Amino acid sequence: MPEPRTWQLTAGSAALGLVLAAAAVTAAGPWDGGQRTAERARAAAPAAGGTRHAPNPAPAAPRHPAPAPSAPGVLGALRAPAPTASAAPAGRAADLAAVLVPLLADPGLGPLRTASVVDTATGRQLYGEGAGTPMTPASTVKIATTAAALSALGPEHRIATTVTAAPDGKAITLTGGGDPTLDPARLKALAADTARALTSRGLTSVRLAYDTSLYRGAALHPIGPNENIAPVVALMTREGRLDDSHSGPAPRTADPAGDTATAFAGLLAAAGIEVTGDPAPGRTPQADPLALTYSAPLGDLVERTLTHSDNDLAEALARQTALARRQPASFEGAEKAVRDELTRLGVPVAGARFADGSGLDRRDRVSAALLTGLLTRAADPARPALRPLLTGLPVGGFTGTLAGRFDTAPATDGAGLVRAKTGTLTGVNTLAGTVVTADGRLLAFAFLAGRTVSAPEAQPALDRLSAALAGRN
């Protein structure tokens, strides 16, 4: 049975909520003062990503994933005057229900729909419709995946790719640590460092092995070979992409690790080290690495995952969580680790299922209340480690998978004010994120729809729902 609609917010608590929300919003990062330099630059990044999102042309790849850019429009709401006891902006109690109930009835959302709206300053649910009912989340499950990774490892964690020499120095092993963002530039630098280390030992010829044993179980995602995701292995370059894209669907290699090792052998040769024979799978010797390269900090990886709905990176972060919690780095181990980590965070996991980290698997289940619970915790000034969960959300009408949305009235009222993770599978459309209201509060929301007829009908309906929370309709 769907949960009854609930809304609780008094005029007295609204004034306190404004103060707390403004503090949470400022701490979250995307707004000035306190807006990060990388976000002020409004990095030119592709709008595509993730599950069934169309790719866009992209600029040259940065050395590491760029943080999610922000829209200046979010500043306006924070400058609004504090609400008075007699004020009644949209989003307050009965006003909120009066606006959301008819919008949720939009036929484009199909017969299955759930909703949760929470004031992040108080943690109170302002509106709920089946908020505790598990639904197929599509890519909004990445909120859970990234929250678990940040909680388990912290935003400064980096993923290493290493090169280690055998005791006799005649063989070396390239070892994958699970970094799908390894790119040709970093691989070349790693080869150069390796060549220098070998030369210093008087070696000019080696055999090359590559080790992917960090990951366990099936490498192929349950959906099978697909342009939305490469085989999930611990060693790869550019997510196994065979074109010049940096996000979204793309042709993928069937052997990311083998291709990376072959490329590394060629780079070693260019650096003056002969590689005898072809690279072959092997195990890493028990020794200190000759050379290594690190990914960007986990906080940056989380932002990229959310902004561009990066499936490969989401699966990698789920496995990093498994490793941190001493579980096998497999689909099954990651599922247990993510669930356990979310339980530690205190969000409702009853009925939840994390069959994968990306949301491509239709067996995934999360509730709207779980998603708003995570977003509310990320807005808590006492939990700074979770902040990339908010700063990575696409900005409505401006960035990532929301760049092409919020472009028709009345959804345009949410442009720049809504930050949200999208989710799209055939028959499933979801949206979860945050919105700054007209009176300056930061609300977390999640709207999940199932058995939808089409994305072109469902997505505008979801946009209208989130825009209505801005109190402009």
Q: What is the pLDDT of residues 184-200, one digit of tens each?
A: 999 999 999 999 999 99
pLDDT over threshold 60, residue 74:
no
**How far, in Å, CA of 430 to CA of 420, rounded?**
10
When comparing pLDDT for 334 and 62, which is higher? 334
pLDDT over threshold 70, residue 88:
no
The tokens describing 44, both together, are 């030119």
Q: What is the pLDDT of residues 207-231, one digit of tens each?
A: 999 999 999 999 999 998 899 999 9
Structural domains present in the chain? 11-156+299-468 (3.40.710.10), 160-295 (3.50.80.20)
pLDDT over threshold 50, residue 63:
no
Query: CB-based burial of residue 23 (10 Å sphere; 0-12 exposed, 13-18 middle, 19+ buried)?
Result: middle
What is the SS3 assignment for 368? helix
pLDDT over threshold 70, residue 468:
yes
Query: What Å distances lie between residue 425 and 137, 191, 442, CA to CA?
Result: 9, 40, 28
pLDDT in the model for residue 94 = 62
Q: How confident is the model at residue 471 (pLDDT cuts 50, 70, 90)?
A: confident
List of residues 6+ apart from 73 with CB closer than 8 A = 415, 416, 417
pLDDT in the model for residue 381 = 95
Supply angle C-alpha 251, 257, 260, rounded to 5: 85
Catalytic residue set: 139, 142, 309
pLDDT in the model for residue 58 = 38
pTM of the predicted protein model: 0.82
Q: For the chain, what percent of residues have pLDDT higher than 90?
A: 77
pLDDT in the model for residue 8 = 36
pLDDT in the model for residue 235 = 98
pLDDT in the model for residue 361 = 98
Q: What is the pLDDT of residues 111-167, one digit of tens each?
A: 999 999 999 999 999 999 999 999 999 999 999 999 999 999 999 999 999 999 999
Q: Summarize the confidence of residues 53-57 as an average pLDDT.
A: 37
Across all residues in the chain, what is the average pLDDT? 84
pLDDT over threshold 70, residue 7:
no
Nearest one of 289, 251, 256, 268 to 181, comparing CA atoms: 256
pLDDT in the model for residue 92 = 53
Q: What is the pLDDT of residues 391-428, one digit of tens each?
A: 999 999 999 999 999 999 999 999 999 999 999 999 99
Q: How confident is the model at residue 95 (pLDDT cuts 50, 70, 90)?
A: confident
**How far, in Å, CA of 298 to CA of 388, rounded?**
9
The tokens describing 426, both together, are 């055939």
Q: How confident is the model at residue 439 (pLDDT cuts 50, 70, 90)?
A: confident
Q: Strand pairing partners for 447?
A: 115, 431
3-state SS string over 398-446? CCHHHCCCCCCCCHHHHCCCEEEEEEEECCEEEEEEEEECCCCCEEEEE
Q: What is the pLDDT of residues 310-368, one digit of tens each?
A: 999 999 999 999 999 999 999 999 999 999 999 999 999 999 999 999 999 999 999 99
What is the SS3 assignment for 303? helix
pLDDT in the model for residue 438 = 87
pLDDT in the model for residue 295 = 98
Give the residue carrying structure tokens 């789920």. Answer: 318
